[in-house]
A and B are shown apart, each in its own frame.
Chain A
Amino acid sequence: MIFDSYEAYKRAGFKPKACILGSGPAGTTVARKLGAAGIPVVVLEAGSREFSDESQDFYRGKTVGDFYFDLDITRLRFMGGSSNHWAGWCRVLDKQDFEPKAWAPDTGWPISRADIEPHLAEVHDILELPDFRPDVPVSDDIRWVQLIKSPAVRFGEKFADELDQSRNIAVVLNTYATELAGDGKRVTGAKLWSNGQEAGTFTADYFVTCTGGLENSRLLLWSNQRSNGGVVPNATALGRYWMEHPTFEGGNAILANYSEFEVDNSNEAFFSPTLAAMERLQIMNFGIRLIESPYPNVKKLIADLACTAPNMAEWMSSQLDQKLRCAAQLYVAWEQAPLASNQIELSKADVDHAGVPRIELHWKKSPLERRTLLEGLRLFGTTMAQKNLGRVRIDDWISNGGDYPTNEETAGHHHMGGTRMGTDVLKSVVDANCKVHGMDNLYVGGSSVFCTSGQCNPTTTITALACRLGEHLGKVITV
């Protein structure tokens, strides 16, 4: 069932056991799992079926620190959530991403990769993925990894009919919780906002916040403030350890053999370090995206020349009326070290139309990450040279310690952390089952529970964790 307003939903007389906030990949997946288990669940979606400026305005915020995207650009607030602008790149966090790393404080998850693997078959169905091929070692230091470009499932579109026909799932559009109320043990209710106005309070036995990697922290920070700590009793880490995948062009490469690595339809291949290399160099995980030259024959020769003799290549390419670049481009995305100082705060000066403080995001890249960028490229370049697969040139700004460019990709629009999973209540917000520490009926879904970010795009792992959470709740919630 899908309702366009809370009023319409109320008239239907639906009695849910659980309330899910948000209809993105996490919220929709948890709802489908509960619905399949015969548990009545309501999904509150703040936006409608389509993008609107009015809805998007609630996402405006401010960033302090390093350059970052506008917060109302980097996510979407309508049915299906940010899957609506997802590029569809898929890969699950590596086994090593779940392990603690002695050289990087506050790393390590309370679960392992093996805990989500039983759910991957279901994830493949949801995201319409073929099987991943195993990583291929290129050297002792570098792995050739696979990142699948999926059809980019828009959860709102793909599952709209299924949700509409479900007798156990009610989706209420244009409706969300401005705050949760709690007594330090349980969430006792939610204050609703629907179609531009207050819509009263709402109760359910269980609440699952799946509002996104920024908004989960905002909702819980505000709710906790309003309930005097009654929603997140252990709130030291709430909003903290926020992470992204910084992404920059890192250099160029001349390849010895263009058929050495199978590339995807975008002429791209991906490489990551081994755990041994990370440990030896004491760096974080990273992913190098090698974009092969799309040029054939003479154009390829000129593009190769552009690496070593740019002026000559420019002249030659101008003769061909072409703009050819150095043979292959290297982009680097890396894992951020989880830092408590990278955090989501509530603005003290700015509120949205519902009176909820907007986000003030404090975000800076650390020296460890800068070292990861440089040493990662060196590691890759060394492997390419040692194996005679090609030669790599690192961009000057990286070699010379220059400032990060502000006209490049910057980051992946991947919002992770803020309500991280863990066993230490001072350094985490939820436990291994995504339940908020100290609360009996409040769970969190989505990438905000990530302890570390790994190097890969998060949606596949988000969906796997949501399957796991849905299965867990299916056993916990009694009908």
Chain B
Amino acid sequence: MSIFNRAKLPDVTRSSPGFGTELAFPDGMCAVQERHAWIEAPIERRVMSNFMKRMSRRVIVQALIALPALSLFRNQPVVAEPDEIVEINGWILRRSDLA
């Protein structure tokens, strides 16, 4: 499970006293993880724990700041041709008519 995905879990941040934002999430992560049943595998806990120890707080914060940029690397849907002809509710239109 990635850091990104965990950060999306609202319960985690809300259950971390004093941290109201996702950026603040890593500080309380270990303690939070202990309280949540969704991390059950001991090996994962160990791996994550070692990972967190090696990462400086600055690196983690920089990684989190860069997260939105990851969307640039996702497969983008094909942008529809504005001149494409579509039929909607009987109307024969250009795609651009729908913008």
Residue positions of A touching B, CB distance < 8 A: 251, 378, 381-382, 384-386, 388, 391-396, 399
Contacts and interface: CB of A to CB of B under 8 A. Distances in A.
Contacts of A399: 87, 90
A464 B31 CA distance: 97
The 8 closest A-B pairs by CB, nearest first: A381-B92, A394-B90, A393-B90, A393-B91, A392-B92, A382-B85, A399-B90, A385-B94
Nearest to A307: B91
Nearest to B89: A393
5 contacts: A378-B92, A385-B85, A385-B93, A386-B83, A394-B91
Nearest to A377: B92
B97 interface: yes
Question: Which residue of A384, A385, A396 has the most chain B CB atoms within 10 A of its CB atom?
Answer: A385
Interface in B64-99: 83, 85, 87, 89-94, 97
Contacts, number: 35
Interface residues of B, number: 10
A386 B90 contact: no
Nearest to B83: A386
Given A385-B85, A386-B83, A386-B85, A391 B91 contact: yes
Interface string B51-74: 000000000000000000000000
A392 B85 contact: no
B97 to A, nearest CB: 7
Contacts of A388: 94
A386 B94 CA distance: 7
B63 to A, nearest CB: 48
B90 A382 contact: no
A251 B93 contact: no
Contacts of B94: 385-386, 388
Nearest to B97: A391
Interface of B: 83, 85, 87, 89-94, 97
A378 B87 contact: yes
A396 B93 CA distance: 16
Nearest to A396: B90
A385 B92 contact: yes
Contacts of B93: 385, 391
A349 to B, nearest CB: 44
Contacts of B83: 386
Contacts of A391: 91-93, 97
Nearest to A392: B92
A382 B89 CA distance: 15
A251 B90 contact: yes
A378 B92 CA distance: 7
A386 B93 CA distance: 9
B92 A395 contact: no
Given A386-B83, A386-B85, A395 B91 contact: no
A393 B90 CA distance: 5
A392 B85 CA distance: 12
Given A385-B97, A386-B85, 11 more contacts: A251-B90, A378-B92, A382-B85, A382-B92, A384-B92, A385-B92, A386-B83, A391-B97, A393-B91, A394-B91, A396-B90
Question: Which residue of B83, B92, B94 has the most chain A CB atoms within 10 A of its CB atom?
Answer: B92
Contacts of A384: 92
Contacts of A396: 90
Nearest to B86: A385
A429 to B, nearest CB: 42
A392 B92 CA distance: 6
Nearest to B92: A381
A441 to B, nearest CB: 55
Contacts of A395: 90
A80 B85 CA distance: 49
A251 B87 CA distance: 13
Nearest to B95: A385
B80 to A, nearest CB: 15
Contacts of B90: 251, 393-396, 399
Contacts of B85: 382, 385-386
Question: Which residue of B85, B91, B94 has the most chain A CB atoms within 10 A of its CB atom?
Answer: B91
A382 B92 CA distance: 6
A89 to B, nearest CB: 27
A126 B87 CA distance: 46
Contacts of A394: 87, 90-92
Contacts of B92: 378, 381-382, 384-385, 391-394
A392 B94 CA distance: 11
Contacts of A378: 87, 92
